[in-house]
A and B are shown apart, each in its own frame.
Chain A
Amino acid sequence: MIGCDVSIDYPHLANPSFCAMQTTAPAITTYDLKLTLPLAAFFVVFFLSPLAILLYVSLHTDAAMTAHGLTQYGKFLLDPFSLGVLGRTLWVGVQVTALCLLLGLPLAWVYVRLTGGLQTVLMVVILLPLLTSVVVRTFAWIVILGRQGIVNSTLAALGVIDAPLRLLYTEGGMVVALAQVQMPLMVLPLITALSRLDPNLLDASAALGAGHWRTFRRVVLPLILPGVIAGCLLTYAASITAFITQTLVGGGQLLFMPMYIYQQASTLSNWPFAAAISIIFLAAVLAVVSLFNVLGRLSKGYAHA
């Protein structure tokens, strides 16, 4: 075997057992791949084929699905109102992700600094939203944001406002509620990234004369960037597709993509248009995700620079 002759560069590896490993290695690889077959079959049946059907449905010109054509895509892409709905949905995702990052990073930082019991308590608090149903969490926000809710009654008691503010069924209220609902998806990857950070690096940076801000920007941030990107990706994808929270806290008159799809598919039985909107939404989300991935690849360069 040609590849087994490593004694020239790495004399210490040139022993028989290593060569034996080399010859059996391909077999192990095939065995591994076979193990993923059930999962692959599962994805083909329950993910790829529905997606193909969705694409097929979207290529019909009428709701009764008698003729083929691209009119549904044209109807969406040439309509400023529909494009506005798409744009607003993607923008809401950006706002929620930014808010989650802003609030989640200090939280993850505090968690990593804590020790023992306090850390366990904080972990339970962070995970608690994941352990309750989204519907329950969202209804809590209706109570908080309502005219007689916690925010309005506190502000009124402090004399800040005379009449209750309209918080429920506004975009701002919805962004805050979504940020709370999706927060664990941001905090958990951040905690993983921060706990891998060697504290000695911070001391070294300080010893070399860098201030807190400079240490954070030049040392901490580059090293935890993969975690930041993972968190952003999860939060973003979850918040733009969060039908329940968008509907219950956003109301029936702030229209976002999930509700738009539901309206066309369910109320109007216009499956081709609903399918076309779904495909366009999927493409838009994939574009954003690829952007995040590009940032991730760039960040690796940044970290090693």
Chain B
Amino acid sequence: MDLTRRHLMTSAFTLGAMHAFPGLSHAQARRLVFSTFTGSWEEAHKDVLVPAFRKATDNAEITLDPLLSMDQIAKVKASPANPPIDVMLHDPGPALVAIDQGLVEPFPFASSPHYKDLIADAQGEMGPAPFFQVVGITYNPEKMKTLPTSWADIWKPEFKGRVGITNLNSTLGTGWLVEIARSRGGSEANVDAGFKALEELKSNLGAVAANPGALATLYQQGQVDIGPGNFNAIQILKARGVPVEFVAPKEGAIAFRTTIHIVKNSPNKELAAKLIDAALSPEVQGKLMEAPYLIVPTNTKVKMSGEIAKVLAKDHDDMKKKFVFQDWKKINEQRAGWIEKFNRDIKI
């Protein structure tokens, strides 16, 4: 081959393009791509789920593409016929959006050895829940005279300027608003009571964070001392030595089904089903339940232990009693209006 300028340039451009768009080189057959959530979820899945999957599939290749739910949807929506993701992980709201838009296909549960062992709330044809996310009261124990036990404690006058919440962009913020509405006679279809409660909370509100991650930071900085919080986000702070505790309120902790889905038109459907099955297995869920992951299991074969048994539920029957599940189909119908109302009305 002549080493001409033209050749060199062509090679350089090709190499550059391949580097910039790795998808170019293996558009046909590619390895399985799993979009998990960012941060601690990615770490947990890399440490536990990926090795279990590779063991079960004779070392099949897998890539993690950590993205927020809505970003996963955007990425799949951009090329639905040739999706860059095979398996998606979703909060309840986005999961319904993905199903409604026809981006996912049913999970072949009949051929799954573990699906039948899931508690009823975790089953679902369009995608089962390998774990739950749980929202309860987060508080700084060093700043409390009496420890909180109920959502109503957040409205106590002693917490003037000390309460932190998120806006309704997050599942946490919206789910909490619905729960507050329900505790005051409202429902998923009517959250007026929740907005009224927020109005009454204004003098206590110290901060409205943009997302759950930013909210967690505020406890670390001593900016706020009490508010609704995600069990797993709090465990990360606790592990870093921040004085913060989580308690399931007596009204019940809010549980979000986090569901895992096979993307429609995925070229790796069989491997995708195997990955999901691994995520449902008692071995993986049992390991993820232990520290430092502390991820709430949905498989009834997993015996609850440690922090989760202590703080949340001692077994799956206890879980059914203590967890509150919400109807996100109803919530999604009106969420846009609530966000608009929150934008306009909540000023502190």
Chain A interface (Cβ < 8 Å from any Cβ of B):
81, 139, 142-143, 146-149, 166, 168-169, 247-248, 250-253, 255, 259-260, 262-263, 266-270
Contact = CB atoms under 8 A, between A and B. Distances in A.
Contacts of B161: 166
Contact of B166 (A252, A263, A268): A252
B343 interface: yes
A268 B335 contact: yes
Contacts of B223: 146-148, 168
Given A147-B223, A168-B207, A251-B209, A142 B217 contact: yes
Contacts of B217: 139, 142
A262 B161 CA distance: 28
Contacts of A143: 221
Contacts of A251: 207-210, 214
A148 B208 contact: no
B73 interface: yes
Contacts of A267: 70, 168-169, 335, 339
Nearest to B161: A166
B222 A253 contact: no
Interface string B297-336: 0000000000000000000000000000000000000011
A229 B73 CA distance: 42
A161 to B, nearest CB: 14
Nearest to B169: A267
Interface of B: 68, 70-71, 73-74, 97, 161, 166-169, 173, 206-211, 214, 217-218, 221-223, 335-336, 339, 343-344, 346-348
15 contacts: A142-B217, A142-B221, A147-B223, A148-B223, A166-B161, A169-B207, A248-B210, A250-B210, A252-B166, A252-B209, A260-B343, A266-B74, A269-B70, A269-B73, A270-B336
Nearest to A149: B221
Contacts of B218: 146
Contacts, number: 75
List of 6 A-B pairs having minimum Cβ-Cβ separation, nearest first: A253-B208, A252-B167, A252-B210, A146-B221, A148-B222, A247-B210
Contacts of B346: 253
Q: Name the residue among B68, B173, B218 with the largest chain A CB count within 10 angstroms.
A: B218
A147 B222 contact: yes
Contacts of A262: 169
Contacts of A253: 167, 208, 346-348
A248 B68 CA distance: 18
Contacts of A146: 218, 221-223
B236 to A, nearest CB: 15
Contact of A148 (B71, B74, B167, B221): B221
Nearest to A259: B210
A297 B206 CA distance: 47
Nearest to B70: A266
B344 A248 contact: no
B222 A169 contact: no
Nearest to B71: A266
B212 to A, nearest CB: 10
Given A148-B221, A252-B166, A253-B348, A268 B209 contact: no
Nearest to A80: B344
A270 B169 CA distance: 13
B222 A252 contact: no
A290 B267 CA distance: 50
A252 B208 contact: yes
Nearest to A260: B343
A81 B348 contact: no
The winner among B97, B210, B343 for most chain A CB atoms within 10 A is B210
A146 B347 CA distance: 19
Nearest to B217: A142
A267 B93 CA distance: 9
A153 to B, nearest CB: 11
Nearest to B73: A269
A255 B344 CA distance: 9
